[in-house]
Chains A and B, each alone.
Chain A
């Protein structure tokens, strides 16, 4: 099974530590690499792609060292963040050139297939200099996918894409993940990473701040209250009942329903059903209101 393995990987520039002692294992499926600007996400992707040497630690992709190993790109596709491509080429020429550099058996067919998957067939005959940012992103992804890599690394792939293009890209990446490909993407568009990927690696200040399923990460953070939106047949009475629970730190009546701040995720979700039954209240809706990736991320940054 193909995977990306980092063991105590550190990278510094002079006195500045960009990536600090990161150990992680990324397997098949889509994994989101998250963090604020300057957190070390791009540095980490460049280390994994073999465009930086680790100052310390071990790093392998598909069992091979990445640094000074261009042969690894037979298995790896890279979509860099920087928006610089050979703009004098047409989209088709660019993807075809990449296919030929990979020495594929049938480069024309591979290029045509990759361009089709990215929905770029209509624009493929035009020079890249005439493309929108979103189209350039897609043609870069087509080039990175042309050799059907086992590992796909994408640095901010949704930049400049309109909602339809984003949706299409998400479907494509999801399908690649389902096929057993290792997809690692960095993004600041948290909502989309949340939709695309259950697994996240959060980098803050060059360190791995959290790793795993983002909902599980949120639940583990018991030091902060979890906000739920509850709708019932009698929100006022349910609020009075809930405030007596040690698992609840605050209750607020809002036009949308009852906003409950729970100190203990599991205790609250267990108790709420019993309490409503006990008081003869019909529970209509129970939504974790702050369980977006954005809030997980904000909590991790604050901690």
Chain B
């Protein structure tokens, strides 16, 4: 019985993802987050800017965007340029391919999104604060859930970035905040609610219980990875047509 992960795929995917020019983009949202937090920490006086800024900017922009860029590139870039055929022309189970690529994407997003979120919270509220720990947990959950969705999206369509961006703007940015009930199907709400489960801060604007968020986040993550594996199992190369 093969394990769920494949070291060769993890290593090659990591090098492929970090070796691309757009890898520099990965760090931009995180740098902006930490820089703005540092400026606010010096200039803002009182109020609840810490959870509002880190919750809003961090969970609606930094984490989703970092996940979108990384999640769509770990598998999607290889599908786009055709190099994935070399990987799929081996007996490696497709579930291993998907899980290995997902793990790389989630780990990089934790490194470039969740840890900066924690660093921002540590600057704003102290490194051991409940806010910092809660935001780290919520951000890590966001990295996992969003990347499962975006890796799946890159297997389903060649326009994963455009569709992912529309999803983030319309579903996560608009509907999840305006339409009651949509929060139950929002990755952003899952991660904010997990953060709130530890931080207990109303300014985070979380609408679900931590338990609901964890369960729903798990369901969405597993479902996305299963769909992605099934799609990769029927990966086709369209050849010439008469």
Contacts and interface: CB of A to CB of B under 8 A. Distances in A.
Contact of B19 (A13, A68, A85, A88): A88
A126 interface: no
Contact of A70 (B11, B15, B88): B88
A185 to B, nearest CB: 15
Interface string A65-100: 000101111101110101011101100001001101
A78 B89 contact: yes
A31 interface: no
Contacts of A44: 239
B85 interface: yes
A271 B79 CA distance: 61
Interface string A101-139: 111000000000000000000000000000000000000
Contacts of A86: 12, 16, 83, 86
Interface string B169-210: 000000000000000000000000000000000000000000
Contact of A68 (B81, B91, B234): B234
B236 A101 contact: no
Nearest to B94: A70
A73 B83 contact: no
Interface residues of A, number: 48
A70 B239 contact: no
Contact of B82 (A42, A43, A82, A101): A82
9 contacts: A38-B242, A39-B242, A42-B239, A46-B236, A52-B236, A76-B89, A84-B85, A101-B6, A102-B91
Interface string B75-104: 000000111011111111110000000000
B241 A51 contact: no
A291 B227 CA distance: 53
Interface string B45-58: 00000000000000
Interface string A20-53: 1000000000000000011111111110010111
A198 interface: no
A143 interface: yes
A302 interface: no
A20 B242 CA distance: 9
Given A39-B240, A70-B88, A72-B91, 5 more contacts: A16-B241, A16-B242, A40-B241, A45-B239, A51-B237
A164 B125 CA distance: 69
B233 interface: yes
A52 B234 CA distance: 8
Interface residues of B, number: 32
A70 B93 contact: yes
B91 A73 contact: yes
A37 B82 contact: no
A74 B92 CA distance: 10
Given A52-B239, A84-B82, A144 B12 contact: no
A221 interface: no
A206 interface: yes
A39 B242 CA distance: 5
B8 interface: yes
A51 B235 contact: yes
Contacts of B88: 51, 70
Interface string B213-242: 000000000000000000001111111111
**A-B residue pairs, 6 tightest by C-beta:** A42-B239, A206-B242, A43-B239, A101-B90, A84-B82, A82-B82
A72 B93 CA distance: 11
Given A84-B83, A85-B83, A86-B83, A68 B239 contact: no
Given A78-B85, A80-B85, A82-B85, A88 B239 contact: no
A70 B92 contact: yes
Interface in A204-222: 205-206
Nearest to A86: B83
Most buried by B among A49, A51, A52, A88: A51
A205 B86 CA distance: 28
B168 to A, nearest CB: 29
A17 interface: yes
A18 interface: yes
B238 to A, nearest CB: 7
A70 B240 contact: no
Given A53-B236, A70-B94, A97-B12, A18 B241 contact: yes
Nearest to A97: B8
A77 B19 CA distance: 28
